[in-house]
Each structure stands twice: as structure tokens, then as C-alpha cells.
Structure 1
Amino acid sequence: MAHQGHPLLLLAWLATCLALASGETRYEKFLRQHVDYPESSAPDARTYCSQMMQRRGLASSTCKFTNSFVHAPAATISTICGSGGAPASGDLRDSNAAFAVTTCRLQGGSQKPPCRYNADVGTHRIRIACQEGLPVHYDRSL
């Protein structure tokens, strides 16, 4: 029986697999792990987290304990590394603006798949690390 999923999801999955196989820059890893714009659809926030963590390779061999997805264009998030943010400490910068964020937290104690996640949806300022003017690490919501 042929798979009849959404072609964009298949392309996103293939792109993720290729990126994982070929190696990725810290910026590309940041985008894969933390940027979901436009926000992917799911019936509810818990399902969203479980699906996104799997799709982005964060819940395959082990379940990542927590991860946040920012629902804004990569270019907008990147402004935090310049005039859209303020220095925090080291290479960390705090956003001036608030962003829609979904934070996924592993439900239960085991980090072995299958992974099930709880979700926290909100609007927050965020703290990220920047290198060479690009975001490379999501530190936390503020």
C-alpha cells in the first residue's frame, strides 16, 4: 500500500535525514531543533510535541528531555544576535521582543522510545547564544 502523507512532510523528513547524515553547522542544527515556522499543525499541543520531536530527530534512539520550538521566521530570530537583542552573558543574548514558543518536556522517567511529551505553549522573550551573527543555541524562555 502506498503512503499517502503530505508531500511537504516527506520532504522535511528527507531533508532532516540528509542533514543528520551529512553533518550540519551549529546554525543549521539550531534551525532543525528550535525553529518551526509556520507552525506545523497537529490536533493538540501534546501530539505536536511528540510528532515534532520525532520528525526533527530528537526522539529516535533516546528521548531528549526538553526542547523548545520558536514559531517565527529564522531571519526574525536571527535579529536577536544584533539590534533585536541585548547582551546577557558570554555569547548569550536576550530578545527584545516576545515570541510564540512551544516547550516540549518528556513525560515519564524513561528516555527510551517511544517518547511521549507534555507541552507548554506561550509567548516569551527568549535567550539564545550567537556566533558570527547567527543563533546557535537556545538557552531558555525568559
Structure 2
Amino acid sequence: MIDMGFPPFEQFLWEHWDYPKTQVSNQNTYCDIMMWKQELYGKLKHTFIHEPIKKIINVCRGEGKHLWDGWYQSKHFFNITKCKFNCMFGHYTGLGMSTKIVIRCKYGFPVAIQE
């Protein structure tokens, strides 16, 4: 069981973790819905991770390559959705992909993601 008593980690999960991925009709709708749900609507860029918590934490605990100042790049690919806000239309464009992620770790837990 994972200790959820570390507020920066809890905030990271609230903002970036969606596993299993919420099912909607398309990536753009996904981003619109998730950004409203997470109270992040209007943020220009955002990333959602669609993997088990343990896989994300493991980037901080040996499954990531240290880059700088607590930032680590995953050794494995992650399923993610990148959301980009279109200010002109007030909606998001979503792009699903499988890629390596870069996260910031504190005390062995992810606390931020490089967007």
C-alpha cells in the first residue's frame, strides 16, 4: 500500500493521474472534461498519465535516469495525454501518446511533471 500522507505527491496525483483512463468520445473532449473536473480549465498546457501509481513512483526509485535538481526521465514509455488550450475557441486539443516522461521527485515521490 502506498502512503498518501505527502501533500505534494497527493497534489501531483490529483492533477496528473488518470488510470484507468477516463473514456470519452475523443481526445479533445477528454481534455475539456478532465481540465474542468480537476479545476484546471484555462491552464495553457497539461499532461495526464494513464499508468498505475507504482509505475510512476518507480521513476523516482531506480526506474528513472537522473537529469538535474530532482528531475528524472523514465526508462520506460508511459501512456499519456497532452492537453493544449486554444484561447481563441476556449477549448482544449488533446494528443494521446506513448513516451518517456520527465518528473521531479522529492523523498522518492513524484511532485511535478515537465509539460
- What TM-score do the two structures reach when normalised by structure 1? 0.74
Ranges in structure 1 where 5+ consecutive residues have no aligned partner:
1-23
- What's the counterpart of residue 87 of structure 1? 66
Q: What SS is found at the alignment partner of 1:88?
A: strand
Identity of aligned residues (%): 28
| Distance (whole Å) between structure 2 residues aligned to residue 99 and residue 45 of structure 1 | 17
Which structure: larger Rg?
1
Map residues 11-26 of structure 1 onto 2, 5 A cutoff.
25-26=7-8
Equivalent of residue 93 in structure 2, options 100, 118, 123: 118
Q: What SS is found at the alignment partner of 2:39?
A: coil
Equivalent of residue 137 in structure 1, options 103, 112, 115: 112
Higher helix proportion, which one? 1
Equivalent of residue 39 in structure 1, options 2, 21, 24: 21
| Distance (whole Å) between structure 1 residues aligned to residue 55 and residue 88 of structure 2 | 35
Pair 1:102-2:81 in alignment: yes
Residue 75 of structure 1: how far off its partner (Å): 1.3
> Which gives a bigger RCO, structure 1 or 2 (Cα 8 Å, sep 6+)?
2
- What TM-score do the two structures reach when normalised by structure 2? 0.91
| Distance (whole Å) between structure 2 residues aligned to residue 130 and residue 55 of structure 1 | 25
- Could you say what the CA RMSD is over the residues aligned between the two structures, in angstroms? 1.4
Residue 139 of structure 1: how far off its partner (Å): 1.1
Q: What SS is found at the alignment partner of 1:42?
A: coil
| Distance (whole Å) between structure 2 residues aligned to residue 56 and residue 86 of structure 1 | 29
Off by >6 Å, runs of 4+ in structure 1:
none
Ranges in structure 2 where 5+ consecutive residues have no aligned partner:
1-5
Equivalent of residue 55 in structure 1, options 23, 37, 44: 37
